Structures are given as structure tokens and as C-alpha cells.
Structure 1
Amino acid sequence: MTPSAGGASSAPAVAPEPEEPVDTAPVLRRGDRGPEVVELQQRLRMVWLYQGDTDGWYSRRVEEAVRHYQWSRGIHEELGVYGPQTRSRLESETGTP
């Protein structure tokens, strides 16, 4: 067997695997505050599960609305916590607030 000219072996080029999209949306739970909570409150209002103030505070009332939403949709995520599965489902059911 004779070595190839130049002595360097070239490995076949491998295309990088595509990266999966990263979910950068925050997980929200009781005690959180901010514009993300306002959006959650507005979306819960759209599905008639929240009638409180849209004040940006994830209160016990918001937590109970999220828990009810999860239960009624068969979502098996931490109850009362607005995580990726709950967010995806609620966003698919509501328009942009």
C-alpha cells in the first residue's frame, strides 16, 4: 500500500447538525412580576379564566387560573406554573393581547 501524495488525509466534510430552537420565554410562578405576567393575565382573560386586574403580578388568583387551565386541558406540567407546555397551548388558543 502506498501513502497518498502529500501525506495528509482529508476527512469527509460533515455538515453541522441544525440546532433546535431555544425557548427563551421565562417560566412564571406566583410572586413574579412584569410585562410577561400582564400578557399571561390578558390571555387567561381571553379564555374566561381570569377576571382580576392586569397588574403584572402573578398572584394566587393568577396561579389558580393557570392551574384550572392546565387541568382542563390535560397539561401535565407543574400545576399553577406557567411553563413551556402551558405557554405553547395557551398561545395557540389566543390571539396576541
Structure 2
Amino acid sequence: MLFPGGSDAGTDPPVAAPDTATASPAGPTALPEPPTEVVPEGSEVLEPGDSGPQVSELQERLSRIPDVYTEGRVDGRYDAGLTEAVARFQLWYGIRGDEEGVYGDATRRDLESRTST
């Protein structure tokens, strides 16, 4: 039985819930690092603004396809002229799967099959 202002014999007084707003955190939780993508050599996507020996190889291969890379310059820079040549190659040979003017896996496979040494 309950009496006003008293407590029931045999029961514990109510316990207040902890205040989560002032509870101290256990410390920062470290998130796992995302896996590093391993890109096989020779399959890196090349796009406008890139430069280097892989771009030079792309320029050289495109210059072997008649009327695709009309500039024919091999300087290792992925500029507007090279972007247009890659887009032209993609259009003429019906390549799908890569962004227009970007030398991705689908474009690479097709170009390399046409210009293998």
C-alpha cells in the first residue's frame, strides 16, 4: 500500500535516467579507411588536364587512326584538341561506356586493339 509522502516498503525508490546531454563521450570513434582502389597499369582513366607519358602514348596511338587526331602533336598534354580527337574516335567507332572525350576502359580497349604493335 502507498502512503502519501512515503515509500512503499519492499520497493526501491525510482532511479533517474542518466542525462545524455552531459554524459562524457567515450572518445572519437575511428572510422575504417576506405579501400584503396588498385588500378592495373595501363588502365588509368585519362581526361582533359592530365599530362604525362600515358597521354603521349594515347596521342601516338590516335595519330595512327586516319583523320581522328588531325593535330598529331605528341606532347603529353590532354588538351582540347586531344579531347576532340578522343570524342571523334568514340563517335566513329561506336564506343559506349566512357564519358565523351575521356579515355576510359572501353575507349582504351578499342583503341589498343586497333593499334596494337
Q: Distance in 2 between matches of 1:79 and 1:58?
A: 14
Q: Distance in 1 between matches of 2:74 and 2:51?
A: 11
What is the DSSP-based 3-state SS (H/G/I as helix, E as strand, rest coil) of the residue aligned with 2:49? Answer: coil
- The answer for the alignment partner of 1:75 in structure 2 is 95
More helix by share: 1
Q: Distance in 1 between matches of 2:85 and 2:52?
A: 18
TM-aligned CA deviation for residue 63 of structure 1: 0.3
List 4+ stretches of structure 1 deviating above 6 A: none
Q: Report if the CA contact (8 A) 1:52-1:61 is conserved.
A: no
Q: Distance in 2 between matches of 1:75 and 1:93?
A: 13
- The answer for the alignment partner of 1:44 in structure 2 is 62
- TM-score w.r.t. the length of structure 2 is 0.60
Q: Distance in 2 between matches of 1:59 and 1:44?
A: 14
- The answer for the alignment partner of 1:63 in structure 2 is 83
- TM-score w.r.t. the length of structure 1 is 0.72
Q: Distance in 1 between matches of 2:45 and 2:52?
A: 12
Q: Where does structure 2 lack aligned partners over 5 or more consecutive residues?
A: 1-37
Q: Distance in 2 between matches of 1:74 and 1:54?
A: 25
Between structure 1 and structure 2, the one with the greater Rg is 2
Amino acid at match of 1:42: E
Q: Distance in 2 between matches of 1:31 and 1:90?
A: 20
Q: Where does structure 1 lack aligned partners over 5 or more consecutive residues?
A: 1-21
Tell which has more relative contact order, 1 or 2 (C-alpha 8 A, sep 6+): 1
Count of aligned pairs between the two proteins: 75
